A = this chain, B = another copy of it.
């Protein structure tokens, strides 16, 4: 089997240069890269990265734990995490926790046993102490865990504020917010906080219905909406801020079925603007966009910075801007 020395000889470069090409580090001219890649091809050279990982104590594996990789927001996010990790030669292991604390703990243990260099944590059912025990870098999506675990998220407070102000500016006087589950201490709950503060500031009447844990399918949210809000109750409101786009869509269909005209009688605004919402044409939902591309890249970059900073420097939390997308439901 060919060795790195054979490749260097074949390409007419130094062994260190071959190593730089393979690890995608430092400056390498296009021609040199081509020469090295050609030599690797010619010699059918496939270095054993697992052996290297063991030797160097760095695997170039990162893990991502999500509640459900099939949910349009997380599948957006995974794509951008994978692509930005791949640019820097890191490989992504994906894990579906299904919001089950036991599964989540098992995945963390599995990732640890497989010597991942770090984890992106998007599932948040375990208690905070369990994360603190993990002996390698973690970046958290949308949840403050501890000062050693940087957090990346959209500006949930600003999102809630934008959504509520939008409804009030359009003349809504009796607002409803359908929140996510508030028992988990996650940053998404700030959407609710902003809804309350903004409603109070403008002297607008409001109610909140707390969502259960996300099963994240239309059928789940359809049952949730129809079981928790009677048609008579829905008629009492003129504006609803939904904590995600699927529940906003379910509410829209429910309102239409009840003969409540959207947006004339009832204005609806969602949150996410993920691939489902981008594809949906009737109605085009008014919503708050969390930019999954920027969040995905930021999660990866923050994690790699932690992995590669030898001195364990302090890394900041990142809040990514949100934007109001005006559709046809307000």
Contacts and interface: CB of A to CB of B under 8 A. Distances in A.
B276 A279 contact: yes
A326 to B, nearest CB: 18
A232 interface: no
A93 B279 CA distance: 27
Given A70-B75, A282-B253, A50 B94 contact: no
Contacts of A279: 217-218, 246, 249, 276
Classify chain A: how many residues form its interface, as a range.
35 or more
B115 A96 contact: no
A169 interface: no
Contacts of A72: 72, 75, 275-276
A53 B218 CA distance: 41
A77 to B, nearest CB: 9
Contacts of A93: 61, 91-93
A281 interface: yes
The interface residues of chain A, by DSSP majority, are classed as: helix
Given A281-B218, A282-B282, A49 B115 contact: yes
Candidate in A54, A78, A114 with the most chain B CB atoms within 10 angstroms = A114
Interface in A69-99: 69-70, 72, 75-76, 78-79, 82-83, 86, 91-96
A28 interface: no
Contacts of A275: 70, 72, 276
A53 to B, nearest CB: 6
A76 B70 contact: yes
A310 interface: no
16 contacts: A49-B113, A49-B114, A50-B53, A50-B54, A54-B54, A61-B114, A70-B75, A70-B79, A70-B275, A72-B72, A72-B275, A79-B96, A82-B95, A83-B96, A93-B93, A218-B279
